[in-house]
Amino acid sequence: MRSFAFAVAYWSLSILYTLAAVVAAILPGRGATGWIIRRYVHRMVQAMRVLAGIRIQYRGEDRLPTGAFIIASKHQSWGDGFATYDRFKDLAFVTGDHLEKFPLLGTVLRKLGAIVVNNCGGRAARDALKHRTADAHAEGRKILIYPEGNLAKVGEKYRYRSGVWHMYRDFDMPVVPVATNLGLFWPQEEFRKTPGLATLEFLDPIPTGLPKDEFLARLEAAVEGHTAELIAEATGNPVTPAVQVPTPDEVRKAEAAAKAA
């Protein structure tokens, strides 16, 4: 019943606030649309707590640097974005172009200044990431990105993509790794919700100036290591490193190659 009640609230709030945001997008500036989306996110976090029974505790906010920075987070749950966005006043975020396929949502994303890139990656995606990040950086906004580019199951990880390093290098911003165990309670995009106390932890910022391989290794070690610890803390099981699996794009390419062979 909790999962059903939350699903009703999820779709009701999403439709209501998206329509309101589309109307607000007609107005000049980002203020009105941003205010509506922040209210939407806050209501979703409330619904997670009241209806689904998922409470969220935040750790490490005292580690956050001043000024603009990049937030590089583990992505286990559709709720990750709500939980993170709710902690910041004006957060830009990187998202796949799949969201633009939803009616009206593309209009809202453009008005919010979201950084929309092709999910498949490649040169075009890197160029789009650079240009759209430049706009957010010029405005002094904090930027949220999921380095794996996909929702991962608890206990699994994908290859960390280099887009976050290009942002880090090009705009000379520190990166704050984020670990979470929210996927234990709201797995990926699943209907089923499990009540409990989820944790989202902001880790020590990675200073600017590191070379690519060192930066990505440090980021992955921080995010995956602390995520494994949070999962163990919530379940009472031993700390178990995540297993790397192929991304959905890699699986599709392998299947296509197998059929063509």
Q: Which residues, in sequence order, are bridge partners of residue 62?
A: none
* pLDDT in the model for residue 186: 97
User: CB neighbours (10 Å) of residue 2?
Assistant: 15
Does some domain include residue 119?
A: yes
Does some domain include residue 81?
A: yes
Does some domain include residue 188?
A: yes
How many domains is the chain built from?
1
Whether 122 has a pLDDT exceeding 60, the answer reads: no
Each residue of 45-93: pLDDT tens digit?
999 999 999 999 999 999 999 888 999 999 999 999 999 999 998 888 8
Q: Which residues, in sequence order, are bridge partners of residue 95?
A: 116
Q: Identify the domain containing residue 134 by its residue range.
A: 57-256
Q: Residues 198, 180: contact at Cβ < 8 Å?
A: yes
Sign of CA dihedral 250, 254, 257, 259: negative
Does some domain include residue 123?
A: yes
Does some domain include residue 211?
A: yes
Does some domain include residue 35?
A: no
Say which range, 68-82, 124-138, 195-209, 212-226, has the weakest mean pLDDT. Answer: 124-138
For the entire predicted model, the pTM comes to: 0.88
* Alpha helix (H) residue ranges in the chain: 2-24, 31-50, 79-85, 105-112, 123-138, 163-171, 212-235, 248-260
Two tokens at 128?
A: 């789009």
Q: How far apart are CA 105 and CA 98, in angstroms?
A: 10
Does some domain include residue 32?
A: no
Q: What percent of the chain stands above pLDDT 70?
A: 91
* pLDDT in the model for residue 137: 74
Does some domain include residue 16?
A: no
Two tokens at 188?
A: 């990926």
